[in-house]
Amino acid sequence: MTADNPYQSEILSKDQEFVWHPYSSLSDPIPAYEVVSAEGVNLQLADGRQLIDAMSSWWCAIHGYNHPVLNAAAKQQIDSMSHVMFGGITHAPAVNLCEKLVNLTPLGLSKVFLADSGSVSVEVAIKMAFQYWISQGQADKNKLLSLRGGYHGDTFAAMSVCDPVNGMHHIFEKVLPQHYFAPAPQIAFDQAWDDRDIADFKSIIETHHKQLAAVILEPIVQGAGGMRFYSPEYLRQVRALCDQHHVLLIADEIATGFGRTGKLFACEWSQISPDIMCLGKSLTGGYMTLAATLCTEEVSRGICEGEAGCFMHGPTFMGNPLACAVANASIDLLLSQDWSANIQRIENTLATELPAFNQLRTVANTRVLGAIGVIEMKEPVNVAQIQKKFVAQGIWVRPFGKLVYIMPPFIITNQQLKQLIQGIYKVLSAPD
């Protein structure tokens, strides 16, 4: 027991000895918090404390934890089969899920490739785009255009289209493929549009379209790269420019999909359909890892009519029945309620409560879209220090850089949400 960390179990000591955590140092490890169970919006710590979760475990747990409907779906599936290979074999959980995804996503997306994680679905999307152009006899279209401030995952192709600064491209310079980057959109979600915001993007696509296989971006919300909400008009114009210059559009909805922004998919804000779309994170309601890459008939036909005769990808755990069964239950559960009114309720509470933070001298600004609330600080926060203070307030908030943000499970009550925001306010307004 130390003053810094009053609870030091055997698990925590072994954790520091053996375990990598996301983006963590093993030479200077920051103690993690041991969670023993989770229920509703609460995380139960091993030391007896209970925390209201503001993170939905990185956008995933939209229905909260330990949900009876999702538990039942998992248990029922596990009693018939947990996994079978997907090569030459099919099953109802996967087929039903793919049909559901085609019916829910923007018009034109009609084929589904199931993948294991968000990053892999981005790899798959990029491979689809490249293989499509190779099949068309246009192998020179082998570059991508993405946006600064973007985040698309941690594997190599995904990393090569992440923000070059956040993604530390310079240290991977020799191993990362080089792609094009347009500046991050500057016009905010509800600000008046100005064509100058897309001028650089336009000139890059005009100059390089013969080399460009695809544009890849996060529609409307740039998530882990900066939590920024940009104008739907930007995305509309990107779609039009892609069409005009024969460049595919990949929409990475891994963070935004399934209602988070107030629309089922963020592309709906601009009323556009991408050629390829990635889904992940909340796909299984946060129960297990599963992702999907959807594409149009044009893309799938183009790929399959090429020299390879098939799409060159096939993960071992593709279409895992257990994950698909829970995904089906999670989507049905979401659609069985007035989810849109519920997101509006969360948005209203966030929009009422967050402006008060602007009075704090350390806060640069606040913004809200759907069930996402962001408090941008003037200076980067010390995550380890501030996390301890949040935990002391009974809340789980994990900031990065200058961003303290809230994206709670959709089941959070207004009272829990206010408690959460009050906890954040206490921490941010306390003198150091």
Ligand X SMILES: *Cc1c(COP(=O)(O)O)cnc(C)c1O
Residues designated catalytic: 23, 151, 252, 281
Beta strand 221-222 with 180-182 is unpaired
CB 203 within 8 A of CB 131: no
Q: Is 135 in the site for ligand X (CB under 6 A)?
A: no
DSSP 8-state secondary structure symbol assigned to residue 65: B
Token pair recorded at residue 412 = 């959070």
Instruction: Specify the stretch interacting with ligand X by CB under 6 A; choose among 86-94, 128-136, 218-226, 295-303.
Output: 218-226
CB 227 within 8 A of CB 374: yes
CB 126 within 8 A of CB 176: no
Beta strand 228-229 with 221-222 is antiparallel
| Rounded least distance, CB 22 to ligand X, Å | 9
Residue nearer to ligand X on the CB measure, 215 or 428: 215
CB 294 within 8 A of CB 271: no
Q: Is 57 in the site for ligand X (CB under 6 A)?
A: no
Beta strand 212-217 with 143-147 is parallel
| Rounded least distance, CB 153 to ligand X, Å | 4
| Rounded least distance, CB 101 to ligand X, Å | 17
Q: Is 228 in the site for ligand X (CB under 6 A)?
A: no
Q: Is 217 in the site for ligand X (CB under 6 A)?
A: no
Q: Is 262 in the site for ligand X (CB under 6 A)?
A: no
Task: Give 22: exposed, middle or buried? Use CB within 10 Å, 0-12, 13-18, 19+.
Answer: exposed
Determine which residue in the list 61, 62, 112, 122 makes contact with ligand X, applying CB under 6 A: 122
Residue nearer to ligand X on the CB measure, 106 or 302: 106
Determine which residue in the list 117, 270, 328, 330 makes contact with ligand X, applying CB under 6 A: 117
Q: Which amino acid is at 268?
A: E
Beta strand 372-377 with 109-115 is unpaired
| Rounded least distance, CB 155 to ligand X, Å | 7
Residue nearer to ligand X on the CB measure, 18 or 23: 23
Instruction: Specify the stretch interacting with ligand X by CB under 6 A; choose among 177-185, 232-240, 251-259, 353-361.
Output: 251-259
Strands annotated E in 20-122: 35-39, 42-45, 50-53, 109-115
Q: Taking CB under 6 A as the criterion, which residues in 272-331 touch ligand X?
A: 280-281
Q: Is 369 in the site for ligand X (CB under 6 A)?
A: no
Q: Is 151 in the site for ligand X (CB under 6 A)?
A: yes
Please give the Cα distance from 264 to 101 (Å, whole number): 11
Say how many residues touch ligand X, by CB under 6 A: 15
Residue nearest to ligand X according to CB distances in the complex: 118
CB 277 within 8 A of CB 105: yes
Q: Is 218 in the site for ligand X (CB under 6 A)?
A: yes
Residue nearer to ligand X on the CB measure, 57 or 131: 57
Please give the Cα distance from 39 to 372 (Å, whole number): 21
Determine which residue in the list 214, 224, 327, 397 makes contact with ligand X, applying CB under 6 A: 224
Please give the Cα distance from 240 to 93 (Å, whole number): 36
| Rounded least distance, CB 163 to ligand X, Å | 12
| Rounded least distance, CB 225 to ligand X, Å | 8
Token pair recorded at residue 167 = 């993604």
Instruction: Specify the stretch interacting with ligand X by CB under 6 A; choose among 30-38, 73-81, 111-119, 390-398.
Output: 111-119
By three-state DSSP, how is residue 141 classified? coil
Q: Is 119 in the site for ligand X (CB under 6 A)?
A: yes
Token pair recorded at residue 102 = 């085609």
Q: Which residues bind ligand X (CB under 6 A)?
A: 117-119, 122, 151-153, 218, 223-224, 252, 254-255, 280-281
